[in-house]
A and B are shown apart, each in its own frame.
Chain A
Amino acid sequence: QVQLVQSGAVVKKPGASVKLSCKASGYTFTTYFIHWVRHAPGQGLECLGVIDPTGGSTTYAQRFQGRVTMTRDTSTNTVYMELSSLRPDDTAVYYCARGNNGDSFDYWGQGTLVTVSS
């Protein structure tokens, strides 16, 4: 069965960086894009960007350009998302989700809570 398993919760100080992982299984890794979506307290769902595991090409949402980097490791079927210059308002649950360009997100990871606090 398709699974996306994410790394555990982290606490970071303002200004630091965080790198989250999302390990895919149950399907051919290179046939679906992986998106990163966050859900901040009291806010809606927000997409940070997407990576194509085939060649590693990425598209980032404009408001995260310069702060987010997505990479993948095809030997372990894992996608990574690094967010830098963290601020308290980056506190959120971060999800990875499977979905090709122009498609909805059919499978989601369990989520990773990132807390940014001094």
Chain B
Amino acid sequence: DIVMTQSPDSLAVSLGERATINCKSSQSVLYNSNNKNYFAWYQQKPGQPPKLLINWASTRESGVPDRFSGSGSGTDFTLTISSLQAEDVAVYYCQQHYTSPPTFGQGTKLEIK
């Protein structure tokens, strides 16, 4: 199975400041024939299921605020929240859906400083 490793495990950022979460996969999730990274970011708030934020490494899902952005390719990816809002407090997970079974990172807990 592909191992996904996130950093940091937790992060405290002031309101209005930038938050950056990294994820590294143990092998490339870039499919060369279509140049797509089979990689996603999810947000999970307490008592709720995960919510898909970004797919194909950088495509925001409909309704996701544009302060959320994803970047990276191959094995190294980043989720950036440009200006942290109170409602962004959550645990964030990366996922590869390149091979079966899909696997997730261990999660990064984002809090307000």
Contacts and interface: CB of A to CB of B under 8 A. Distances in A.
B100 interface: yes
A104 B95 contact: yes
A45 B100 contact: no
Interface in A6-63: 35, 44-47, 49-50, 59, 61-62
Contacts of A103: 97
A105 B52 contact: yes
Which of A59, A62, A97, A104 gathers most chain B CB within 10 Å?
A104
Interface residues of B, number: 22
A110 B49 contact: yes
A110 B49 CA distance: 6
Nearest to B56: A104
B101 A61 contact: yes
B68 interface: no
Contact of A109 (B49, B100, B104, B105): B49
B40 A104 contact: yes
Interface of A: 35, 44-47, 49-50, 59, 61-62, 95, 97, 99, 101-106, 108-111
